[in-house]
A and B are shown apart, each in its own frame.
Chain A
Amino acid sequence: MQATRNGAPPADGLLAKDTPVGFELVGVKKKAAIQLMGSRLWGRFNPNHWDPLYASETGLSAPIQTGEMSSAYLAEMCVNYFGRHFFTNARMTCKYVASTFANEVITTGGRIREKTPEGDGVRFVVDIWAENEAGETKTVGTVEVLIP
């Protein structure tokens, strides 16, 4: 990873126009910490996101994260790789295929599926996912980003 002054990703990200199809993105790793899942801005409004007793009464084995926390993890990975280009004319789809339970450790990943010339730039299509320590997939999706 290129060094930056203050811990920010490189402005143009870690990918270049010549990065090949099949390239794998190194993602981010996060623990589904109950204190964060139940914070006011995230899941506090719904005890299924932070209270083990309430979650149990609704049939869940443990509180579950809001899906959008996974989307935020995936977006962080994409900003690392696409930099400022992820904020303009980009697309991100996410399907939450399984619940993320309290205390699971989630790792994101990505692989370049497709590259298409567009003007002077290249539009990348990347398969993205989030999975737990056992390799169980929690979220799948794609991103499309133009590197001009």
Chain B
Amino acid sequence: MTTDVPATDSLRPMTEIQIQQTREFIESLQEECQTYWDMVSVGDELSRDLHITPELVILYADAVEDYNPWYEGWRMNTWHIEGESPFGGAIVPPVLVSHFVLSVQFDHTKPFAIGSIHTYHDTQIHAPIPVGATVRIATKAIDKYEKRGRRYVRHEVTVTDVESGRLYLTEVRDILSL
């Protein structure tokens, strides 16, 4: 019996040098790491500040093909602009900061626990975030539990403006761990 192993270029065209660079990059990611379950203890708190630049918003929105002009604080040819939305200037897509929580709840000073899967989020959107704001993303591990033989780690999240302290977003989210 043979098992088909997919080629590196099976989903997109690549030359030999691109394939080699890809395999080398993936090799460079291999590190000894703990499972997320072992990495986190209930009560662990982590916090990081994120400057939400116009370019960061464009990178996020382009990859999900969301071309709403409300999010544009940067436009080709013009470059930095104030932008325009129902709140005045450009604003951040509603769940952009939720995507960055991963970079906080996974302690970025340690090897990433590959094999973990984000399974759930319950997000409260309190206020629009202006493009250009710096936000503080704070996470606290509030539970570790098992369900149907699977292990989950639950965090609560708070996102506030670093300058004004304004509350933008709160969230509860689960990660499935190996």
Contacts and interface: CB of A to CB of B under 8 A. Distances in A.
Interface of A: 6-9, 11, 30, 34-36, 39-42, 45-48, 51-56, 58, 62-63, 66-69, 71-73, 75-76, 78-79, 83-84, 86-96, 102-103
B6 A53 contact: yes
B43 interface: no
B86 A41 contact: no
B91 to A, nearest CB: 7
A72 B95 contact: yes
Given A58-B115, A92-B121, A96-B117, 14 more contacts: A42-B99, A48-B114, A62-B6, A63-B11, A67-B119, A68-B95, A68-B99, A69-B64, A78-B94, A79-B68, A86-B125, A88-B127, A92-B122, A96-B120
Interface in B118-152: 118-128
Contacts of B8: 51-53
A87 B166 CA distance: 14
A95 B119 contact: yes
B127 A87 contact: yes
A86 B8 CA distance: 41
Nearest to A97: B119
B37 interface: no
Contact of A47 (B5, B29, B127): B29
A46 B36 CA distance: 14
B95 A92 contact: yes
24 contacts: A7-B69, A8-B68, A30-B65, A35-B12, A39-B63, A41-B56, A41-B63, A45-B29, A53-B6, A53-B7, A54-B26, A56-B5, A58-B115, A66-B118, A69-B63, A69-B64, A71-B95, A71-B99, A72-B99, A84-B85, A84-B128, A87-B87, A91-B124, A94-B121
A91 B6 contact: no
B121 A41 contact: no
B66 interface: yes
A67 B99 CA distance: 9
Contacts of A87: 87, 91, 94, 125, 127-128
Given A11-B86, A51-B26, A96-B119, A88 B126 contact: yes
Interface string B25-61: 0100100000000000000000000000000100110
